[in-house]
């Protein structure tokens, strides 16, 4: 079928056959389908949506536009996790080595910061020598020998998605559930996964601020991934405050190291990490009981096994061998670090979480344009969780900045993003909903 006929049928709300979708995506990959035709196709999907079968076909066609990794030589379940993005969300950094310590192989393909959210790759670039784009051989060898590797998407994985996304970004068709679903899953399926756990964020620091919209996306992702042959579930999690007590790049790596050393026990971050580890273990068949799976993950953390694997992964991918033992030797610090103080006594009752992410960008820790250079050193740490009681003048966090002017501006900005009230807020759950096939 000609590309324009495929566009016409979708424009008219007719269902598309898998072979027509595959042919159209092949044209996207080899360039025979024009940019205008891709834009028209995306807009037709935006208006008319896609049935599950169509979205599965689109996802598989985008997956098959490039290489699909084969891990048949690894005698472990191949598993991964994907987050839709948040502030202070460094879960992947700790989750991958915990899952590996529990017997999974985790080939994690991650991305850079998007909008106000931080990117795992930007955080890892804070580590001197760490190679986020290794050769295919080094990636494979690291996963096989260490158990996990966190890297960026190579040009050979789902190239059709790269072209489609670039066009969606400038044609107001980003916020289409079928297109979001296919974009996320095509890359994950190209990584050769057997199981996948999705972290769909909801709240004022997430791309999905509305709970119903988050559930719609989560259900689409789960249905399509399972329909494409990858066992998948999703947890919808709260993003109404930073997840870690740090937001930035180097500060989140430092937070990760502290976490792996057992210094973040009892935190909201630990509860999230262990919940996702348990979900990965159950979904992959390593454990049957969620409680037993969470105990196994907690033991991998407490024993130091996860920390050892993280250190081995860093070294295998070009970073220092003794990062965990000597983080201060390798992690650069901002020239100015100053406390952010509470303006009054009371309880921290709410946070403009998106504002925190934007404040990191304003300090230089994120991108306003794709070609911007970021300062990995800047950001915030020692952030107190909501519900904490403070006195006037107490430290509610610290700002890391490149100069005194930025530090003063950042401190004022952060203080204004928290609301303090006389009464403690009602406790809210970390994980709101679990969705499975």
Q: So what's the pLDDT on residue 115?
A: 61
Domain span at residue 40 reads 3-63
Residue 207: band (very low, low, confident or very high) from pLDDT cuts 50, 70, 90: confident
Residues 44, 132 share a domain: no
**What would the two tokens of residue 253 be?**
């790596």
In a domain, 434, yes or no: no
* Residue that terminates a domain, selected from 326, 345, 360: 326
Nearest CA-CA partner of 222 in 188, 247, 253: 188
Mean pLDDT, range 120-143, rounded to an integer: 93
Residue 119: band (very low, low, confident or very high) from pLDDT cuts 50, 70, 90: confident
Q: So what's the pLDDT on residue 315?
A: 98
pLDDT in tens, 6-24: 999 999 999 999 999 999 9
- Identify whether the C-beta of residue 266 lies closer than 8 Å to the C-beta of residue 272: no
418 contacts: CB under 8 Å, gap ≥ 6: 348, 350, 351, 352, 396
Residues 212, 154 share a domain: yes
CA distances from 260 to 93, 117, 124, 255 (A): 10, 23, 15, 9
Percent of the chain with pLDDT over 70: 97
Give the least confident one: 167-176, 209-218, 329-338.
167-176
Three-state secondary structure of 330-359? HCCCCCEEEEEECCCCEEEEEECHHHHHHH
In a domain, 26, yes or no: yes
Q: So what's the pLDDT on residue 165?
A: 84
Q: So what's the pLDDT on residue 411?
A: 97
Please determine, for residue 117, whether its predicted confidence score (pLDDT) is greater than 70. no
> Mean pLDDT across the chain, nearest whole number?
94
Residues 338, 195 share a domain: no
In a domain, 260, yes or no: yes
Could you tell me the CATH number of the domain that includes residue 139?
3.40.1030.10
Q: So what's the pLDDT on residue 28?
A: 96
Residues 296, 163 share a domain: yes
Could you tell me the CATH number of the domain that includes residue 400?
3.90.1170.30
**What would the two tokens of residue 92 be?**
């992947």
Q: So what's the pLDDT on residue 136?
A: 87
Mean pLDDT, range 123-129, rounded to an integer: 95
* Residue that terminates a domain, selected from 33, 63, 93: 63
For 13, list phi and psi in degrees, rounded to 5.
80, 15
In a domain, 9, yes or no: yes
Give the least confident one: 248-262, 328-342, 357-371.
357-371
Residues 319, 294 share a domain: yes
Q: How far apart are CA 118 and CA 276, in angstroms?
A: 19
Q: So what's the pLDDT on residue 357?
A: 93
Q: So what's the pLDDT on residue 156?
A: 83
Q: So what's the pLDDT on residue 369?
A: 61
Q: How far apart are CA 195 and CA 434, in angstroms?
A: 16
For residue 170, the SS3 value is coil
Q: So what's the pLDDT on residue 209?
A: 85
Q: So what's the pLDDT on residue 368?
A: 62
Evaluated on CA atoms 262, 268, 269, 274, the torsion sign reads positive
In a domain, 34, yes or no: yes
Q: So what's the pLDDT on residue 168?
A: 87
Residue 74: band (very low, low, confident or very high) from pLDDT cuts 50, 70, 90: very high
Mean pLDDT, range 160-166, rounded to an integer: 88
Please determine, for residue 370, whether its predicted confidence score (pLDDT) is greater than 60. no
Evaluated on CA atoms 56, 62, 65, 71, the torsion sign reads negative
In a domain, 431, yes or no: no
Please determine, for residue 141, whether its predicted confidence score (pLDDT) is greater than 90. yes
Strand segments, DSSP code E, in 153-278 are 195-202, 231-238, 247-248
In a domain, 72, yes or no: no
Cβ count within 10 A of residue 370: 7
Q: So what's the pLDDT on residue 49?
A: 95
pLDDT in tens, 95-113: 999 999 999 999 998 876 5
Vertex 273, ends 329 and 237: CA angle to 5°? 125
Please determine, for residue 171, whether its predicted confidence score (pLDDT) is greater than 90. no
Could you tell me the CATH number of the domain that includes residue 44?
1.20.970.10
pLDDT in tens, 20-39: 999 999 999 999 999 999 99
Mean pLDDT, range 151-155, rounded to an integer: 81
Q: So what's the pLDDT on residue 198?
A: 96
Q: So what's the pLDDT on residue 408?
A: 97
Residues 311, 180 share a domain: yes
Strand 231-238 with 195-202, pairing: parallel
For residue 141, the SS3 value is helix
Q: Which amino acids are annotated catalytic? A: 80-83, 120, 168, 183, 187-188
Residues 338, 321 share a domain: no
Residues 139, 113 share a domain: yes
Instruction: Please state whether 346 falls in left (phi above 0), alpha (psi between -120 and 50) or beta.
Output: left
Number of domains into which the chain is organized: 3
In a domain, 319, yes or no: yes
* Residue that terminates a domain, selected from 269, 299, 326: 326
Q: How far apart are CA 114 and CA 206, in angstroms?
A: 11
Please determine, for residue 179, whether its predicted confidence score (pLDDT) is greater than 90. yes
Residues 47, 127 share a domain: no
Residues 344, 321 share a domain: no
Q: Which residue has the higher pLDDT, 300 or 112?
A: 300
Please determine, for residue 164, whether its predicted confidence score (pLDDT) is greater than 60. yes
Residues 288, 352 share a domain: no
Percent of the chain with pLDDT over 90: 84
Mean pLDDT, range 180-196, rounded to an integer: 92
Residues 338, 278 share a domain: no
């Amino acid at each position: 079928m000609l590309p324009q006929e495929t566009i016409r049928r979708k424009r008219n709300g007719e269902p598309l056959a898998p072979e027509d979708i595959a042919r159209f995506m092949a044209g996207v990959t080899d360039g025979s389908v024009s940019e205008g035709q891709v834009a028209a196709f995306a807009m037709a999907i935006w208006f008319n949506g896609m049935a599950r079968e169509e979205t599965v076909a689109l996802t598989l066609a985008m997956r098959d536009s490039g290489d699909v990794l084969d891990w048949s030589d690894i005698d472990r379940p191949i598993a991964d996790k994907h987050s839709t993005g948040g502030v202070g969300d460094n879960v992947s950094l700790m989750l991958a080595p915990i899952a590996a310590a529990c017997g999974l192989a985790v080939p994690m393909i991650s991305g850079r910061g998007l909008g106000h959210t931080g990117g795992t790759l930007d955080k890892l670039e804070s580590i001197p020598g760490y190679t986020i784009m290794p050769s295919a051989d080094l990636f494979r060898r690291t996963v096989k020998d260490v158990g996990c590797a966190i890297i960026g998407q190579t040009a050979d994985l789902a190239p059709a998605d790269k072209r489609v996304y670039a066009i969606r970004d400038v044609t107001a068709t980003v916020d289409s559930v079928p297109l979001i679903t296919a974009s996320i899953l095509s890359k994950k399926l190209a990584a050769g996964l057997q199981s996948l756990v999705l972290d769909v964020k909801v709240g004022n620091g997430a791309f999905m601020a509305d709970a119903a919209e988050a559930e719609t996306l989560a259900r689409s992702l789960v249905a399509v991934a399972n329909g494409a042959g990858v066992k998948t579930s999703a947890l919808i999690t709260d993003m109404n405050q930073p997840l870690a007590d740090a937001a930035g790049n180097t500060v989140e790596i430092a937070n990760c190291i502290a976490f792996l050393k057992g210094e973040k026990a009892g935190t909201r971050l630990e509860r999230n990490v262990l919940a996702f580890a348990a979900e990965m273990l159950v979904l992959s068949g390593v454990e049957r009981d969620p409680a037993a799976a969470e105990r196994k993950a907690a033991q991998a953390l407490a024993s130091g096994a996860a920390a050892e694997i993280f250190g081995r992964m860093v070294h295998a991918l070009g970073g220092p061998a003794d990062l965990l033992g000597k983080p201060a030797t390798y992690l650069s610090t901002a020239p100015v670090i100053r406390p952010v103080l509470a303006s009054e006594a009371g309880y921290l009752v709410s946070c403009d979480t998106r504002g925190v992410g934007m404040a990191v960008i304003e300090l230089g820790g994120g991108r306003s344009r794709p070609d911007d250079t970021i300062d990995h050193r800047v950001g915030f740490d020692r952030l107190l969780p909501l519900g904490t009681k403070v006195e006037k003048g107490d430290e509610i966090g610290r700002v890391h900045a490149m100069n005194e002017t930025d530090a003063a501006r950042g401190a004022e900005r952060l203080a204004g993003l928290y609301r303090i009230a006389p009464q403690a807020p009602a406790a809210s759950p970390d994980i709101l909903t679990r969705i499975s096939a």
